[in-house]
């Protein structure tokens, strides 16, 4: 692979990770403001009847986005390591991409419910984004799997 192509892949990977890290910082700041800083517009209104649900949603929101970012980080590290060894589509990413799609489904569900939980409203939302975004990730994961199999076949043919 050309050195310029490798640099391009590394640059795009680092930009994607930087955007993910910035969003993760936003999630943490949002959660800290909602839970511990009084007087902010998004401060949580605790309800005795649904306190468990509020805790579950806020925990799922923070932990879910953290898990999605960590999985993305692992996938990118595998890609960058694969570039060094000449493997553009490492096979170990196949499972990681599918796991990330499942985590994203759960995380988006909690994300959609955060605004209602902050207000103390008893409501659970399953938005279309919760379904379609993970499905798109699964489709790209299947394309990635096919690309890794095609690379393996071409390496065997050489």
| Chain segment 98-133, per-residue pLDDT in tens | 999 999 999 999 999 998 888 888 778 888 989 999
- CA-CA distances (angstroms) from residue 97 to 69, 91, 113, 148? 12, 10, 24, 13
Q: What is the CA radius of gyration of the chain?
A: 19
Our measurement of the distance from residue 21's CA atom to the centroid of its chain's CA atoms, rounded to an integer in Å, reads 11
The mean pLDDT value for 137-154 works out to 89
Cβ contact 27:61 at 8 Å: yes
- Separation of alpha carbons 146 and 139, rounded Å: 11
- Separation of alpha carbons 34 and 136, rounded Å: 31
pLDDT band at 138 (very low <50, low <70, confident <90, very high): very high
Taking only the tens place, the pLDDT of each residue in 26-42 is 999 999 999 888 777 78
* Mean pLDDT rounded to a whole number for the chain: 89
Q: What is the pLDDT of residue 119?
A: 86
Tokens standing for residue 33: 């403001």
Q: What is the pLDDT of residue 73?
A: 96
Tokens standing for residue 114: 């955060």
Stated as kind and residue range, the H or E segment containing 125 is: none
- Separation of alpha carbons 76 and 39, rounded Å: 39
Q: Where is average pLDDT lowest: 27-31, 45-49, 148-152, 154-158? A: 154-158
For the cut 90, the answer to whether the pLDDT of residue 83 exceeds it is no
Predicted model pTM: 0.86
Q: Which residue has the higher pLDDT, 151 or 111?
A: 111
Domain positions in the chain are: 3-157
Which residue's entry shows tokens 């699964």? 138
């Amino acid at each position: 692979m050309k050195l310029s192509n490798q640099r391009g892949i590394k640059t795009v990977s680092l930009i994607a990770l930087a955007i993910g890290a910035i969003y993760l910082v936003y999630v943490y700041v949002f959660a800290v403001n909602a839970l511990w800083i009084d007087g902010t517009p998004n401060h949580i209104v605790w309800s005795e009847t649904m306190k468990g649900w509020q805790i579950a949603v806020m925990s799922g929101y923070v932990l879910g986005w953290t898990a999605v970012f960590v999985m993305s980080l692992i996938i990118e590290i595998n890609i960058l390591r694969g570039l060094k060894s000449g493997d553009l589509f490492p096979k170990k990413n196949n499972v990681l991409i599918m796991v990330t799609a499942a985590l994203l489904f759960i995380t988006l569900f909690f994300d959609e419910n955060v605004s209602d939980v902050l207000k103390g409203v008893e409501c659970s939302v399953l938005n279309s984004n919760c379904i379609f975004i993970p499905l798109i990730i699964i489709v790209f994961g299947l394309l990635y799997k096919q690309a890794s199999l095609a690379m393996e076949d071409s390496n065997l043919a050489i």
